[in-house]
Amino acid sequence: MTRTDASRPHPAAPQPGASPLSAAAAPFRRLRTALSVSGLGQWLAVPALSAAAVLPADGTEARLRAAGAVLALLVLPAVLLAPLAGALADRVDRRLALLIADGLRFVVVLTVPLVDALPWTLAAAFLVGCLSLLWAPAASAALPALVSDATVGASAGGTVVAREAAETDLRADARRSAARAAFGPAPVAALLFAVLAVIANAVLGASHRTDLPLYATAALFVLAAALTALVKQVPATEPISVPAPLKLLFQGPGLDRAGHGLGLAVGGAALAAGAVAAVARVHTGELGGGDAGYGAVLTGLAAGLATGLFLGPRVLGPFSRRRLLGLAVIAAALLLIVAALVRNLVVVAFVAAFLGVAAGAAWSTATAAVRDPAGETGDESGDRRPRAFLASIALIGTLVAVAAVPAVAGALGSHRLTIGDGYDLDGSMAAQLIAAVLALITGAVAYRRLDDRRGIPLAADLRAALRGEVYVPPSQAPAPEPVRRERGVFVAFEGGEGAGKTTQARLAAIWLRDHGYDVITTHEPGATKIGMRLRAMLLDRDTTGLSDRAETLLYAADRADHVANVIRPALERGAIVVSDRYLDSSLAYQGYGRQQPVGAIARVNAWATGGLVPDLTVLLEVPPADGLRRLSAPADRIESEPQEFHERVQAGFRALAEAEPDRYLVLDASRPQAELSREIQYRIREILPDPIPAGTEDATSTFPAITDV
């Protein structure tokens, strides 16, 4: 399901090479700078506030509690109050919302060193979290709103259509710019914190060393507010709507079982990354690192995350993305174990960086898997729920990590476990280990759920991917022991519209014939004379008012005739039958798609076919929107069903495949055709009987029979 939207040609998109926003007007650039400065302040606030909370705390347990509380209070508003803040941001002027958020964050952060009391530091963390919630949606709506007529004109020139298309592209670009301004400064902020910590330690002395990062944070907020004030006006053209994370989590995301695998993976990655951040301040203190060490670990983590986000879609190109996702989470969990056990600050910082890479790659791989084509162009009609669901899981996973890991660490803190020669396992290490085990289990379950290359050895698959290839078991290797059968072999190809199953079925048949098999290629509906009439009735768009049950029975009737007159006779004479669609199409389309009881349809069809089930079903998966776009002919009655219908069909196919993984080969149809063919051949080879004995060919001195129905 790799997509290449970045390079997707748009009829009126600006020419490649010319940065579409390079011609941006001054207010746009000014606001972008203001957002980046504010973003930097926002990320600097995280270590600055947690270091300030930890400083006066007495004893490890209190320090852990203080650090955990600050982080949890920073994240908590995003979990509880996001839609409320979004609604507020939507009501006020965008510029005003940004000014309020930056101005108030300046005041709140500035008062922390002045008041110098833990309860206020904690309250400040909560307030900063709330104000950041107001800021974030206003920021992502404000920048696209400044894509001015002048900017569009500069990059599009020409016609009204060209201008409209260019404007859509530029707004999407602006939205990405806003996201970069909000998240991009994280590694810089962590590094800045480390530098400020070193300076503060030397200049301000031990008791006030956390003041400098706080003043710097406040200064960044006030600077951002001043820069925003310079932008005279931000039109309210972009609506704001922020989904509620908890609601999304409980209502379900509109994803199938594999989609839940994605959710598990994201949760595991967030848990691992959150656990490192949660105890980093106290852990580094115990390793003699202080605030500078804390900054170093956070720099590693944030830089790693940024790298992982960038690398996720690029690394190991030919390797299955679904496998990669599970592996990334497992890697993050293993790295957390190392981070917990190692007693050297430099190593911990590096391990945190690698952990960040793994977690970042997991996030970008998971979101790429659910990304809606409309999501990139900013089309509000696109279903963004799956991505928002993953974002909610990431948020809640982080909250759980930053709240629970320090709490567990604090609770275990006093029970030191000395291993061997004075190696102490303290509370924060043990808490990280517990989080790592949970992340590991989550990663392993996600890997199993998502694995789309079952049966293919992982090590060989990885080695091939490192060479830039897809692993296909070498043909000279001994073929798997052929399964001897009394009858022929039945292979069905299934999938949604435009998945390319007809092509793959034909290619498989050609390959089988080349290997000397008697092959029948056939299809449903309409492989027999009666079937052709039924097909016309079923698919003609002029057929109106056909009830769902009647449709189901007509497909079953077609299948009964097909089995009786084509498939069974061929199998009985030992041929290989390759069918483009079979029973699963009825279960997926009439069952899941039309929302009729799948069990009842299965029973009707079992009777119609005398219980004939394929030896192998190849399921080609394609996102319905992409598949429908691939179709060239005018839509038939089923194809013209709405997209939700096709989404249900796709989810249905997947559920069927997951219920019986041994009988299915599930493939991502967006992969190159040749790769898909190779995998299909490899899998079919496992169920083939011995090829026709040489003697038979000698006797007939012809090719084996080739029959097309």
Q: Using DSSP bridges, classify how beta strands 417-419 and 423-425 pair: parallel, antiparallel or unpaired.
A: antiparallel
Tell me the window of 294-302, 571-579, 584-592, 671-679 that interacts with ligand TMP (CB under 6 A): 584-592
**Single-letter code of the amino acid located at 546:** L
Which of the residues 533 through 572 are near ligand TMP (CB under 6 A)? Answer: 539, 555
Helix ranges (H only) for 252-289 are: 257-286
- CB nearer to ligand TMP: give 219 or 539: 539
Token readout for 708 is: 């097309």
Closest separation in Å from C-beta 687 to ligand TMP: 22
**Cα 576 from Cα 691, distance rounded (Å):** 11
How many residues can be counted in the chain? 709
Tell me the window of 27-35, 414-422, 519-527, 684-692 that interacts with ligand TMP (CB under 6 A): 519-527
The SS3 of residue 596 is: coil
C-alpha distance from residue 347 to each of 247, 265, 289, 352, 423 (Å): 40, 26, 12, 8, 17
- CB nearer to ligand TMP: give 105 or 648: 648
**Cα 117 from Cα 19, distance rounded (Å):** 49
Closest separation in Å from C-beta 34 to ligand TMP: 52
Q: Is 502 among the annotated ligand-binding positions?
A: yes
The secondary element (H helix, E strand) that includes residue 522 is strand 519-523
Closest separation in Å from C-beta 487 to ligand TMP: 23
Closest separation in Å from C-beta 504 to ligand TMP: 12
Kindly state the greatest CA–CA separation across the chain: 100
- CB nearer to ligand TMP: give 151 or 522: 522
- To the nearest 10 degrees (0 to 180), the angle between helices 59-80 and 118-145 is 30
Token readout for 249 is: 């989590």
Token readout for 198 is: 């070193």
- CB nearer to ligand TMP: give 518 or 639: 639
**Cα 583 from Cα 590, distance rounded (Å):** 11
Q: Is 376 among the annotated ligand-binding positions?
A: no
- To the nearest 10 degrees (0 to 180), the angle between helices 149-156 and 160-183 is 110
28, 151 in Cβ contact below 8 A? yes
Q: Is 409 among the annotated ligand-binding positions?
A: no
**Cα 258 from Cα 654, distance rounded (Å):** 8
- CB nearer to ligand TMP: give 356 or 525: 525
300, 352 in Cβ contact below 8 A? yes
Tell me the window of 247-255, 369-377, 585-593, 654-662 that interacts with ligand TMP (CB under 6 A): 585-593
Residue closest to ligand TMP (Cβ): 589
Tell me the window of 41-49, 171-179, 581-589, 660-668 that interacts with ligand TMP (CB under 6 A): 581-589
Q: Which residue has the tokens 């000395």?
A: 418
Closest separation in Å from C-beta 517 to ligand TMP: 24
Closest separation in Å from C-beta 547 to ligand TMP: 14
Which of the residues 478 through 507 are near ligand TMP (CB under 6 A)? Answer: 497
Closest separation in Å from C-beta 585 to ligand TMP: 3
Tell me the window of 23-31, 263-271, 396-404, 582-590 that interacts with ligand TMP (CB under 6 A): 582-590
- CB nearer to ligand TMP: give 291 or 580: 580
Closest separation in Å from C-beta 386 to ligand TMP: 24
DSSP structural state of residue 579: E
**Cα 516 from Cα 174, distance rounded (Å):** 58
C-alpha distance from residue 661 to each of 575, 582, 654 (Å): 25, 17, 10
Query: Site for ligand TMP (CB under 6 A): which residue of 75, 79, 280, 638?
Result: 638
- CB nearer to ligand TMP: give 555 or 682: 555
Tell me the window of 15-23, 380-388, 521-529, 571-579 that interacts with ligand TMP (CB under 6 A): 521-529
The answer to whether residue 291 forms part of the interface with ligand TMP (CB under 6 A) is: no
Tell me the window of 139-147, 393-401, 517-525, 681-689 that interacts with ligand TMP (CB under 6 A): 517-525
- CB nearer to ligand TMP: give 155 or 586: 586
Token readout for 226 is: 């001043």
Residue 660 φ then ψ, to 5° = -135, 65
- CB nearer to ligand TMP: give 129 or 525: 525
Q: Is 529 among the annotated ligand-binding positions?
A: no
The answer to whether residue 589 forms part of the interface with ligand TMP (CB under 6 A) is: yes
Tell me the window of 87-95, 185-193, 234-242, 579-587 that interacts with ligand TMP (CB under 6 A): 579-587
Closest separation in Å from C-beta 257 to ligand TMP: 22
Tell me the window of 298-306, 329-337, 390-398, 583-591 that interacts with ligand TMP (CB under 6 A): 583-591
Token readout for 436 is: 């790592």
The answer to whether residue 525 forms part of the interface with ligand TMP (CB under 6 A) is: yes
- CB nearer to ligand TMP: give 38 or 585: 585
Query: Site for ligand TMP (CB under 6 A): which residue of 291, 524, 647, 668?
Result: 524
505, 580 in Cβ contact below 8 A? yes
C-alpha distance from residue 337 to each of 130, 363, 402, 430 (Å): 33, 20, 17, 9
Q: Is the dihedral of CA 402, 404, 410, 412 positive or negative?
A: negative
Pick from 261, 377, 378: nearest CA to 321: 261
Closest separation in Å from C-beta 627 to ligand TMP: 10
The answer to whether residue 305 forms part of the interface with ligand TMP (CB under 6 A) is: no
**Cα 677 from Cα 680, distance rounded (Å):** 5
- CB nearer to ligand TMP: give 312 or 526: 526
The answer to whether residue 585 forms part of the interface with ligand TMP (CB under 6 A) is: yes
Query: Site for ligand TMP (CB under 6 A): which residue of 42, 586, 617, 650?
Result: 586
Q: Is 252 among the annotated ligand-binding positions?
A: no
239, 141 in Cβ contact below 8 A? yes
Site residue total, ligand TMP (CB under 6 A): 13
Q: Is 496 among the annotated ligand-binding positions?
A: yes
Q: Is 232 among the annotated ligand-binding positions?
A: no
Q: Is 501 among the annotated ligand-binding positions?
A: yes
Query: Site for ligand TMP (CB under 6 A): which residue of 581, 648, 654, 671?
Result: 581
Closest separation in Å from C-beta 671 to ligand TMP: 20
Residue 232 φ then ψ, to 5° = -70, -40
**Cα 414 from Cα 425, distance rounded (Å):** 11
3-state helix vs strand vs coil in the chain, percent to 5: 70, 5, 25
Closest separation in Å from C-beta 569 to ligand TMP: 20
**Cα 633 from Cα 672, distance rounded (Å):** 22
- CB nearer to ligand TMP: give 321 or 562: 562
**Residue 402 CB burial class (10 angstroms; 0-12, 13-18, ≥19):** buried
Tell me the window of 274-282, 393-401, 483-491, 518-526 that interacts with ligand TMP (CB under 6 A): 518-526
With a CB cutoff of 8 Å and minimum separation 6, the contacts of 267 are 393, 394, 396, 397, 442
- CB nearer to ligand TMP: give 385 or 523: 523
Closest separation in Å from C-beta 612 to ligand TMP: 14
Core vs surface per residue 180-212: b (16+ CB within 10 A) or e: ebbbbbbbbbbbbbbebbbebbeeeeeeebbbb
Pick from 288, 268, 448: nearest CA to 358: 268
- CB nearer to ligand TMP: give 202 or 633: 633
- CB nearer to ligand TMP: give 205 or 597: 597
Annotated binding-site residues read 495-502
Contacts with ligand TMP by CB under 6 A lie at: 497, 523-525, 539, 555, 581, 585-586, 589-590, 638-639
Annotated binding-site residues for ATP read 495-502
